[in-house]
Amino acid sequence: MRLPADDATNGWSAILPPRAPRPALQGPVRADWLVLGAGYAGLAAARRLAELRPHAHVVLVDAGTVGDNASGRNSGFAIDVPHNVGSSLEELRQAAHYQRLLAAGLADLQRHIAAHAIDCQWRRAGKYHCAVSPAAGRTLDHHAQELRALGEPHERLDRDALAARLGTRYFAAGLYTPGTVLLNPAALCRGLADALPAQVALYENTPVHALDIAPHAVVAHTAQGRIEAPQLIVASNPFAQQLGLFQGETFPLATFGSLSAPLTPAQRERLGAPQGWGVTPVNAVAGATLRYTDDHRLLVRQGFEYAPRFRVAAAVRERVRRAHRAVFDARFPQLADVPLAHFWEGAIAITRNGAPRWGRFAPNVHGVAGCNGVGIVKHTVLGALAADLALGQDHPLIADALALGAPARMPPAPFLGLGLGVRAYIAREKWAGRAER
C-alpha cells in the first residue's frame, strides 16, 4: 500500500492551531457501515448515514490526518456553478445536473458550518474564471452562454476591471460569478470531522492495506487491526485503485500549492485589492489558480505530475517551487519582496472525460471517486447521495448524479502501466493551454 507523501508542509494546516488527531485503530472492530476516506465525500457519507440510521454504528477511517490529507490541500474553492476543467467541457454539457447538485452540496456545507460554528474563513466571495490570452475568451463565451441558460448571475470583465479588483493586469478577460465560497480547506475538514455525530467512530492514521469483499461482509485489514461490516462506502479518491477499485477509470495526479506569508500593510497597499478573491484559470492544467485570502496571504496552485506511486522526485518539487515563484512574480511584480512561505503537494483523481465515478460498485459497495480537482462541493453532495443510494433511500438528486455518466476507460494496461496515456493527456492539455501560463 503506497500512501501520499504528506510531509507536514501543507500551508493551510500549518497556519492553524495544533490539533490532536483521533487515535489509530487498534484491534478488531465490528460496525454496521465502513466508510473509507475522511475527505469531503467520506465525511458527508458518514454524516448522512448517521442522520438516516441514528442507531447504526459507522466506522470512518483515513490513512492520514484529517485536514492534512488530500482534501485539506486544495485551493479552498467551494464552487457553486459548473465550469470547465482543462479543455474538457463535460461539466458545462451537464450544466443543469451540476447546478442542482452543487447547490445542494453548498447548502449542506453551509448548514453544518453554521450549526457547529466551524471557523474556516468561510465567505461567499465569488470567483473569477480568467483567461490570459484573448483567444481563450471563446471558452468564457461558452461558459457565459451556459450560465445564462441556467439563470445564474455572472459578469464579464475586461483587463482594466479585473486589475481594479485583483491587483494584477495579467488577465485579458474574466467571468465573475458571485456564489462561490472561499475558505481554508484544512480548517473545514477539521471542523466537519470534529462535528461528526456520536455514532460515527473516526480513526485517523489508519491505512487499509487489504480489503476483502464478500456478498454479505466486507473486511478491511489495517496494520494494527481489522474492521468488519456488511456495507462499505469508498471515498478514498485516487487511493482506491490500490484496493482493486476503479481500475482503468481514474488516474492519480500530484498537484502543488504555495502560500505566501501575510502581506504587510505596505504590501497590501501595493496590491491594491480591496478584499479577498479567488481566480480559476480557463485551463487548469496549464494555468494557475490564485487566491488572496482574508488574512492577506496569496496562494499559487499550478502544476500536475503523474504520480502512480503517490510520490514525486525532489527535483520535480524544486522545479515546481521555482515555477510558482515565476508565476507569482509575473502576476504581481509589485510584490517581489513577498516570500512564498509554504509549499506542498497533494493528490487528486482525474477521469479521462471529466465524469466522476459514482454509485453502486458491488451489492454492498458504494462510493465516489474522480473529483477532477474540484471536489469540495461536488464530493460533499455525491458522498451524501452515495449513502442515500446504499440505504435505498429515495432522493431526487440521485437522478442528477446518475445523469453525469461514467468515466471513459483508460488505455490498455501496458500503456497505462507505463503512464504513456496519462502523460500524453497532460502534455496535450499543457499544449492546448500554453497561452494561459
Q: What is the pLDDT of residue 306?
A: 83
The number of C-alpha atoms within 13 Å of 144 and in the hemisphere containing its C-beta is 17
109's grid cell: 456545507
Residue 3: its pLDDT value, please?
60
Mean pLDDT by 10 residues, the chain (437 residues): 66 96 97 97 98 98 94 96 62 82 97 97 97 85 89 96 97 97 98 97 95 93 96 86 74 92 97 94 88 98 84 91 97 98 91 87 92 88 98 96 86 53 67 65
Q: What cell does 130 get?
A: 480568467
**Model pLDDT, residue 229:** 98
CB 238 within 8 A of CB 371: no
- pTM for the full model? 0.93
